[in-house]
Amino acid sequence: MAEAYFPVGPGLGMEENFLSLDDILMSQEKLPGRAESALPRLAVLLGQGAGSAESVPEGSKLEIPLWLAKGLHDSKRRIISVELPKIYKEAWRTVFSADANVVDLHKMGPYYYGFGSQLLNFENPENPEIAQTDSVCSLQTFIARFRRIMDSSQNTYNEDTSALVARLDELERALFQVGQKGLNDFQCWEKGQASQITASSLVQNYGKRKLTEVDG
Amino acid sequence: SEAKSGRTDLIFLIRFRHCCLLRNQRCLLAYLYDRLLRIRALRWEYGSVLPNTIQFHMSAEEVEWFNRYKKSLATYMRSVGGEEGLDLTQDIKPPKSLYIEVRCLRDHGEFEIDDGTTILLKKNSQHFLPRWKCEQLIRQGILEHVLS
């Protein structure tokens, strides 16, 4: 229980943590965009064209990962302009306001909340209120779902939780695991196992994996 | 050379390549940093001597980092808590008694305790031993703490 490995956690809000593995995975998610000018030789890089001299014509639609969108985006929008993925748009917002608990957030992109916060980085000057309502909506979705997450994490002990966890995105899963850990620790203490010295999970994993032996 | 020739349409390509390089750099740095965090955790959870199988998978710089971390930790522990220092890696969970019951999970050979007697640690043998001698072996998975 006294674990010593503390990985770098995801960033909060609009900033990512550079060294956070969660943020790296999250920024790999794709988002739809539009090429604002002809982009020479990009076609072969994105796998769309055959010849190396082909350029992606102006105005064509692209799906690019977030890290690339952040790097190529500037306020004058000379190269790339991005739009909100459909999950963050009007249609889905009505679904969320109807009943937020039903939505399978893992399928919508496992980093719904983190990605949504990152989208605020792209100033879309024509839609400031979408950004506003977007953050409000994410927040309300979160509030609605949080209660159920907290409740289920504190009350399922030693059960198979995969059905519950399948519909949560990564942030919610982290919260769920924290709740479960607290519950498990408490149960351990109640059983009197709190003073039992245990082999750490790192050690147990090394034991299970058959690492190659060194000769000589 | 493309930038020097003044072709502004290729600025995008340069920027794109730069983005990719930064991305690769970020992934590599995060990977190496995560490895260091795990190696640091090993010092606390396993002890100051790492088994050969793990050392085999560490790079030379990581081994050196581990040694330096060990040294920093030891210096710090010596400076805290009076003359002999305080071993922070012991008693991570509050101890209830001086002696504990342990069962051996693997053959480990002979083990000497403070009053000079040696104990043979064979698989499945049980012993009643002082806590401070066994704690590290339990964390390494060689012994198992048995609650009565």
B134-B42-A202-A162 Cα dihedral, nearest 10 degrees: 130
CB pairs under 8 A between A and B: 123
Out of A193, A197, A211, name the one closest to residue B135 (CB): A197
**3-class SS of residue B104:** strand
Q: pLDDT digits over A130-188, tens only?
A: 556 666 667 777 777 777 777 777 776 666 667 777 777 788 788 888 888 888 888 88
| pLDDT of res. B32 | 94
Contact A41 B138 (CB under 8 A): no
Mind listing the pLDDT tens digit of every residue in chain A (216 residues)? 347 888 888 887 777 888 988 888 888 888 887 777 766 666 555 555 444 445 566 677 778 888 888 888 776 666 777 777 777 777 777 777 777 677 777 777 777 777 777 777 666 544 455 556 666 667 777 777 777 777 777 776 666 667 777 777 788 788 888 888 888 888 888 887 777 777 777 667 766 665 544 443
Distance, CA of A39 to CA of A80 (rounded, Å): 10
Q: What is the CATH number of the domain that holds B64?
A: 1.20.58.1030
Query: Considering the domain boundaries, does residue B85 fall inside one?
Result: no
Are B8 and B65 part of one and the same domain? Answer: yes
What's the token pair of residue B57?
A: 């998978």
Query: Considering the domain boundaries, does residue B53 fall inside one?
Result: yes
B108 touching chain A per CB within 8 A: no
| pLDDT of res. B7 | 63
What's the token pair of residue A175?
A: 């919260």
**What's the domain count of chain B?**
2
Domain coverage including residue B58: 4-79
* B-contacting residues in A 50-109 (Cβ below 8 Å): 67-68, 71-72, 79
Residues whose CB falls within 8 Å of the CB of residue A184, separated by 6 or more in sequence, listed in order: A157
B140 touching chain A per CB within 8 A: yes
* A-contacting residues in B 55-84 (Cβ below 8 Å): 56-57
Distance, CA of B140 to CA of A52 (rounded, Å): 56
Distance, CA of A26 to CA of A81 (rounded, Å): 20
Are B72 and B137 part of one and the same domain? Answer: no
What's the token pair of residue A15?
A: 């900033």
Are B18 and B69 part of one and the same domain? Answer: yes
Residues of B in contact with A4 (CB under 8 A): 40-41, 43-45
Are B70 and B33 part of one and the same domain? Answer: yes
Are B118 and B75 part of one and the same domain? Answer: no
Return the number of other C-beta atoms located less than 10 Å from residue B4's C-beta: 6
Give the residue ranges of DSSP H helices in chain A.
Answer: 21-26, 42-45, 66-72, 90-98, 112-119, 128-155, 162-165, 170-190, 201-208
Residues of chain A with CATH 1.20.58.2050: 1-83, 84-204
Contact A5 B10 (CB under 8 A): no
Are B122 and B73 part of one and the same domain? Answer: no
The residue among B25, B48, B79 that closes a domain is B79
Out of B10, B34, B93, name the one closest to residue A40 (CB): B10
Residues of B in contact with A202 (CB under 8 A): 38, 41-42, 45-46
Backbone angles phi, psi at B90, to 5 degrees: -95, 160
Total-model pTM:
0.79
| pLDDT of res. B148 | 66
Q: Please tell me the class of the A84-204 domain.
A: mainly alpha
Q: What is the CATH number of the domain that holds B111?
A: 3.40.5
Q: How far is CA B145 from CA B19, B119, B132, in A?
A: 52, 17, 12
Out of A4, A20, A71, name the one closest to residue B41 (CB): A4
Contact B141 A213 (CB under 8 A): no
Are B73 and B23 part of one and the same domain? Answer: yes
A171 touching chain B per CB within 8 A: no
Are B74 and B111 part of one and the same domain? Answer: no
Residues of A in contact with B138 (CB under 8 A): 197-199
Spatial CA neighbour of B131 closest among B148, B116, B113, B117: B113
* A-contacting residues in B 115-134 (Cβ below 8 Å): 134
Query: Considering the domain boundaries, does residue B88 fall inside one?
Result: no
Contact A67 B19 (CB under 8 A): yes
Residue with tokens 């309502």: A133
Distance, CA of B96 to CA of B102 (rounded, Å): 14
Are B15 and B75 part of one and the same domain? Answer: yes
Are B68 and B126 part of one and the same domain? Answer: no
Which CATH fold would you assign to the domain A1-83? Methane Monooxygenase Hydroxylase; Chain G, domain 1 (1.20.58)
Are B69 and B128 part of one and the same domain? Answer: no
Q: What is the mean pLDDT of chain B?
A: 82
Query: Considering the domain boundaries, does residue B94 fall inside one?
Result: no
Per-residue b/e over B100-136, b at no fewer than 16 CB within 10 Å? Answer: bebebbeebeebeeeeeeeeebeeeeebebebebbbb
**3-class SS of residue A76:** coil
What's the token pair of residue A73?
A: 């985006």
Are B71 and B122 part of one and the same domain? Answer: no
Residues whose CB falls within 8 Å of the CB of residue B105, separated by 6 or more in sequence, listed in order: B123, B141, B142, B143, B144
Residue with tokens 């909060």: A12
